[in-house]
Structure 1
Amino acid sequence: MEATGDTSFPDDSGSQSLCPDPHTGAAAAPGWAYLHKPIIVMVMGSLMSAAGGLLFLLQSLRVTEESRSVASACLSIGLMFVVVGLVWVPILKEKQRRKRCSLGA
């Protein structure tokens, strides 16, 4: 096989970067704009957890006759939403980083 000068690979003299400079050519959404969904999920989960905690407090002070199962459900579902939002944030950040890398490459 002959060695020819025509290759389909760019010649950068061996200094290729896996990810381009983040300050150049960023056509993505500005700042935290791509994180609005997990932030909303975390806020809603926090509110639901707070409601469950408040129901526990009111029930323990004998102010309300709500059953503990309602308070437990609100608290556990709210905490689940908070955890889902917290796990979702790094996933979206990694997805955004890979998208920037693929657009720059």
Structure 2
Amino acid sequence: MEVNGERLYSDDSGGPCPDRYSAVARGMAYLHKPIIVMVMGSLMSAAGGLLSLLQSWGVTEASTSVASACLSIGLMFVVMGLVWIPILKEKQRRKRFSQAV
């Protein structure tokens, strides 16, 4: 079925569903930014940990400050993402409450 050149997807009941995301995906879509921040922070802290491990084994001549900076900045991003999630959940809860009143 096509409407205005856009294809509509149907759900199990046979009725058209205008978007391709489930209700859970739409409900959790506001969390994509903090999740991305946490993933990037964990990758950066893993790189810092790997650099410090390689340096302790004598494999690389990387500076100690580079490994420490990667590790600390990565952990800072992970913590920022972890703090950001409850803030967004509270904001969405207040928004739903104000719309219901």
TM-score (norm 1): 0.71
1:40-82 Cα distance to aligned partner (Å, 9 max, x none): 0000000000000000010011110001100000000000000
Aligned equivalent of 1:32, options 3, 28, 34: 28
Q: Which 4+ residue blocks in structure 1 deviate beyond 3 angstroms? A: none
Aligned equivalent of 1:98, options 75, 94, 101: 94
% identical equivalent positions: 83
Between structures 1 and 2, the one with greater strand share: 2
Structure 1 or 2, whichever has the larger Rg, is 1
Q: Distance in 1 between matches of 2:42 and 2:94?
A: 30
Q: Is 2:61 the partner of 1:65?
A: yes
TM-score (norm 2): 0.74
Matching of residues 1-105 of structure 1 within 5 Å: 30-105=26-101
**Which gives a bigger RCO, structure 1 or 2 (Cα 8 Å, sep 6+)?**
1
